[in-house]
Structures are given as C-alpha cells and as structure tokens.
Structure 1
Amino acid sequence: MASPSGQTREPNPGDPGLDHLPTALIATIMTKLDVPSILSLASTCMTFRSCAAHILSFLPNFHLLDIAPSMDLLRPLLPPDNPYLRSLKVDCTRLDDSSLDFLLRPSLQELCLRNCADFSGKLLSQLGHSCKDLRFLYLSSVAEKRTIS
C-alpha cells in the first residue's frame, strides 16, 4: 500500500483495513453516499465492489449527472429489478430512444433527463405509459437536433 510519502508499506496484520469489516456494515455506510462516490469506492477493492453491486439493486435515488454514461456503462449500474427506485437523474447525451425501456420504471416519482437531443417524441409517449406515479419531470434539449419545416 502507498503511504502519503509515496513509499510502499507492508500491510499490518494488527490493522486489517476497511475491507475486513462486515459487509452489512459497509453496505449500510455506502447507502449514505451519492452514486459517483459509491462507484469510486467500488473501484478500490473486491469487497467494496461486491457491496456496491448489492446496494445499487435497492437504492431509491440514482443521480448521475456529472458524466454522460452509455447504455453499456449504465446497464450494470442500474439493475432493472430495483422496485425501490423513486428518483432517476441522468445525463442522456450518449443515450437515445433505444434506452427508454431500460430507463423508465413504474416505481419512478421523479425523473430528470438532461441533454435528450437524440430522443424523439416516443419519449413522452412511453413516459405516460410506463411511469404512472411520476410527480416531477425535467427534460432538457428534447428533439433539439430536429428541424421544423
């Protein structure tokens, strides 16, 4: 492990580290973090990665506005079987109509989709059909690339 001075130090058997804490405790702590922080923590070790995968399946809020994920990146982060998901905020710069079935969930009450330039009118139609409990909707740049003739 690297020390602040940049030198590598040997692990201390008397100090096993955070990854030896009970996974239930780690998962409880991780639920208090925002999604980017959970992802950063998950990249540090297998124990944290496993806990992150578990808690992402029951997080009520998934807010990832700092980056524009592709569907390949979003798919493992946003499990489709999360019945507790109430709020979804995503930058859709790299998404289009093909991602609607994945993004729109019946449990959603708040939806914020930024930079929806590649979405068509199908977005609003599917929203009305899929998100019956929706209470807050924010869409930006919808059909911005379309021309009016």
Structure 2
Amino acid sequence: MSDTLMTIRQMVDKYQVTARTLRFYEAKELLSPLREGQKRLFTKRDQARLKLILRGKRFGFALEEIRQLLDLYDMGDQQQTQLRATYAIGQDHLAALKAQRAELDEAISDLTEQLEWGARMLASFEAKDAAE
C-alpha cells in the first residue's frame, strides 16, 4: 500500500475509530475513499478530513456543522471562509462549554457540601450510639 493511500484497517488502527464509523462518515459524504473492487482506499485528503471530523466531534460540533465547514475548504479563497466560519462556531461552542463547566462546578460544590453535612450527621449518630 502506498504512503498516500490507506485501507480501512489502517485507518481504524491509526485513528482509533471503528470500520463502522468510517463507513458511516462515507455514507454521510464526509469521506469519499477510492474504491478498488470492494476495498476502500482512503487518500491523504480523507485522512485530513477524518482528523478534522474527530476534532470537531471532540469540541462538540454537530456532524452537519462539520460537513458545512469541510465543504467550505473547496471555495478557492485559501480557506479564509472556512477559517472564519470555524472560528465563529468555535467561539459559540467555547462559550457553551464554559457555561457547562460553571454549572458542573456549582453542582460539584453543592454535592460536596451535602456530602460533608452527611458525614457530620453520620459521625454524630455514631458518637451517640457509642455513648449509649
């Protein structure tokens, strides 16, 4: 196999995704591997797109957002449109993640307080039982 083409097995091993995931992305037209009989051959472009898909998913982007951003690559403006759109969506997702983190921090604080109260109550009950 050449350095520029990878089989589905090689993609699975390199990117830690399932073959089913790759076929799903192909069905959604996010990837478009070459075909050699029944064999799928993924190009450097497919590999770059998969990296972007996985990064986008990790950042919380919807697959449709990722598709739109990937499609902007081919606009011929040195990816300026793609970068602007990615930046705007990224800012929105960052704000949402920060809000989620604030909510989680508050929930953690509340739960910690409740557990500390519970520990004090249990210790009080145990001390009372030991005194009797």
Range class of TM-score, shorter chain: under 0.3
TM-score normalized by the length of structure 1 = 0.23
Q: Highest CA radius of gyration, 1 or 2?
A: 2
TM-score normalized by the length of structure 2 = 0.25
Bigger proportion of residues as helix: 2
